[in-house]
A and B are shown apart, each in its own frame.
With several copies, the nearest count.
Chain A
Amino acid sequence: MTEAASRLPVSRLGGPEVRAISRIDIGLRRRYAAERRFRAYGLAAVTIALCFLLALFGSIVGKGYTAFQQTRIAMMVDFDASIIAPDGDRSPAAVLSGNAFRFDDLIAASLQKTLELDPDDEDGLYDGLDLLSKGSAPMLRSMIAKDPSLIGTKRSVDFYATGDVDSFVKGTIRADIPESQRLIKDKHIALIDKLEKDGALHLAFNTGLFTNGASTRPEMAGVGVALVGSLYMMLVVLVLSLPLGVAGSIYLEEFAPKNRWTDLIEVNINNLAAVPSIVYGLLGLAVFINFAHLPRSASLVGGLVLTLTTLPTIIIATRAALKAVPPSIREAGLGVGASKMQTVFHHVLPLAMPGVLTGTIIGLAHALGETAPLLMIGMKAFIVEYPTTPLDPATALPTQIYMWATEPERAFTERTSAAIIVLLAFLLAMNSLAIILRRAFERRW
């Protein structure tokens, strides 16, 4: 009676069976070629991506690894009490105050001894001083202030050589060009040779690169403040953007009624990702600094602004991941009497976690390298002192990198690359936790 039944006998004659008897060519050769091509494209894509990474890494590390060492000049210093504490007061406060030039005298004295100069040879002394960092006297002063028991002793102190000397010793300033074009003069080269022969001039691990704050002297400049600032900012970003992003996505994807409004919001959030980050800087300036009166240059504000820039990434990734969880899982949860909330948090979210974490990894990576918005809120700045709280002025690794990249001194070039290495190491450390977590959540079903 039914159509199907009446057609059945007819279809028996034609249809697949006939073809089946003489097996048709299913184009395997062509399809395999396509398959191989497809696979090769995939492999090529991964390889290309990794090659790019390698090339970038190679160029950064190649330029930057030398900055992890630094030229020092060891000199015997006579911590002459009559110079340091002429009035006998050896307290740190007294060391810090008073005539600042007395420390220069200490250095000059020990330099004269090290170079075996005639005490009247002023030119020789100045040439020698040219090799030493201009920050040597403050360094000596804070050294004594920290440990007043040094006063009256004789001690060998490792002074920093200036950035130019450092670059020369490492070979980035070449000696084989005419003196007029050279950044370092013949007389200085002679002194360097002499110091090297005496063993006073040597390379040592550059701890200051990690611990010092900003300085105009490359030999004393470090990413310490920037590191702490970035750390604070990333903490703020992580603490705010991950929960906010995940919570927002859960609402939009699982709870919000599906209508034009939510469409609008979805489009909107996708669109937020395309807003240039400097605009977020403007927003942050208006909202957090001008309106909420949070301090300028503070890592808290930086973190807040970066949170806003990261949110869209996390939300988009999370929503995509939530969408990818099959509905049968939700039904299973609801079917045993779990509330929607429970189903989402117990079953759906864990399955979406890899996507959430990917969003977090990429979002944080982006946030960590972002400079433009920080410019607007005063975080591309020269800051010497460590921030103790996220409300103190700080700078960030990428802004530090940009600032160093614009410095003319040769010694900053390698430090720029070194700072990039530090940033990448920071990134890796930050991501590895997320990557481990992601591995734990990944399962196929």
Chain B
Amino acid sequence: MSAVQAVTPFETIRTPDAASRPVKIHTVAVKVTYGQKEALHGVSIDIPEKAVTAFIGPSGCGKSTFLRCINRMNDTIAGARVEGTIKLDDQNIYDPDLDVVELRARVGMVFQKPNPFPKSIFDNVAYGPRIHGLARSKADLEEIVVTSLQKASLFNEVKDRLNEPGTGLSGGQQQRLCIARAIAVSPEVILMDEPCSALDPIATAKVEELIDELRANFTIVIVTHSMQQAARVSQRTAFFHLGHLIEEGPTDHVFTNPLEQRTQDYITGRFG
């Protein structure tokens, strides 16, 4: 509990480190078109390994779109077309030879709108480990589920009702369930689209805690609308605007000393 007490929502930046790391995801000129509409106009960014990268930007600027490119979830949208290069560990993920399923197993995702399966809470979390064979035994599986739920700080609330449907949870609980579901398969990269939008400050703090913990081993990309959150958890920040990547750099730089006026304006809420 001490950790939680240390973080109060009104405190400011938890000084992220600015160490340079190998690149995990390398993208060049990624363009996305939905039907006629171009939603991303050529985004090039390098996402470092074992660090948290935050995407910020006004609503509708293409953050989710870009995130969904990284694990090729845009494939599922009829009419969505992706151009450009995205490399994960030097492998082009839009390579026709690439196994999308493996990619998605390596690059997990928490969606913006929580979408639990209409199954029990337990099965929601156990599904990933089951199909990937991460558990050797039933006990193993249970442990994975419990740990994941605990990490997503949902366990206490649902421990008596693991067999009830995940769709019967509150909004914030569903969101945490989806986080638990994503981390249960321990992917190398975790893409989180506003994972704390429906969470109260304490739950948020715990999830941030989790993210901080995860970055020791995983690469994390998080979309957030909260500057504070970006400042607190991320090491690098990318600012999107109207389908363009405006600026990208170490979080403290971006927040304290942005290169672009638009970034400055957005961060200070003086946008227009």
Contact = CB atoms under 8 A, between A and B. Distances in A.
Q: Do chains A and B touch in the complex (CB under 8 A)?
A: yes
Interface of A: 1-5, 7-8, 11-12, 14-17, 19-21, 23-28, 31-32, 35, 258, 327-340, 342, 346-347, 351, 443-445
A5 B116 CA distance: 24
A154 to B, nearest CB: 70
Q: How large is the interface on B (under 10, 10 to 19, 20 to 34, 35 or more residues)?
A: 35 or more
Given A26-B134, A32-B99, A443-B118, 12 more contacts: A3-B155, A7-B150, A8-B150, A15-B143, A27-B132, A331-B73, A331-B111, A332-B111, A335-B104, A336-B105, A337-B132, A339-B101
B101 A4 contact: no
Given A11-B147, A331-B111, A337 B76 contact: no
Contacts of B232: none
Contacts of A35: 101
Contacts of A330: 76
B272 A336 contact: no
Nearest to B156: A4
Given A1-B272, A2-B156, A444-B78, A342 B131 contact: yes
Of A4, A346, A445, most buried by chain B (CB within 10 Å of CB) is A4
Contacts of A334: 73, 76, 104
B109 to A, nearest CB: 4
Nearest to B103: A337
21 contacts: A1-B1, A1-B272, A3-B156, A4-B155, A5-B4, A14-B143, A20-B218, A25-B133, A26-B105, A26-B134, A329-B118, A331-B76, A335-B73, A335-B108, A336-B104, A336-B105, A337-B101, A337-B104, A337-B108, A337-B132, A338-B104
B101 A28 contact: yes
B187 to A, nearest CB: 7
A330 B156 CA distance: 29
A16 B118 contact: no
Given A17-B217, A328-B113, A31 B131 contact: yes
A405 to B, nearest CB: 47
Interface of B: 1, 4, 71, 73, 76, 78, 99, 101-102, 104-106, 108-111, 113, 115-118, 127-128, 131-134, 143-144, 147-148, 150-151, 153, 155-156, 165, 167, 178, 181-188, 213, 216-218, 272
A257 to B, nearest CB: 11
A2 B159 CA distance: 13
Given A3-B156, A5-B4, A337 B115 contact: no
Top 7 nearest A-B pairs (CB, nearest first) are A337-B105, A16-B186, A26-B132, A336-B128, A339-B101, A328-B115, A20-B186
Contacts of B113: 328
B144 A15 contact: yes
B99 A28 contact: yes
Contacts of A26: 102, 105, 132-134
Nearest to A2: B156
Contacts of B178: 332
Residue of A2, A21, A329 with highest tally of chain B CB at under 10 A: A2
B151 A8 contact: yes
A324 to B, nearest CB: 12
Count chain B CB atoms within 10 A of each CB in A7, A334, A337, A443 and give the residue with the most: A337
B75 to A, nearest CB: 8
A334 B178 CA distance: 13
Nearest to A28: B102
A91 B144 CA distance: 74
A26, A329, A351, A443, most chain B CB atoms within 10 A: A26
Nearest to A30: B133
B105 A4 contact: no
A336 B181 contact: yes
Contact of B150 (A11, A23, A28): A11
Contacts of B131: 31, 336-338, 342, 346
B182 to A, nearest CB: 7
Contacts of A444: 78
A19 B186 contact: yes
B117 A329 contact: yes
Contacts of A331: 73, 76, 111, 115
Contacts of B106: 337
A8 B151 CA distance: 7
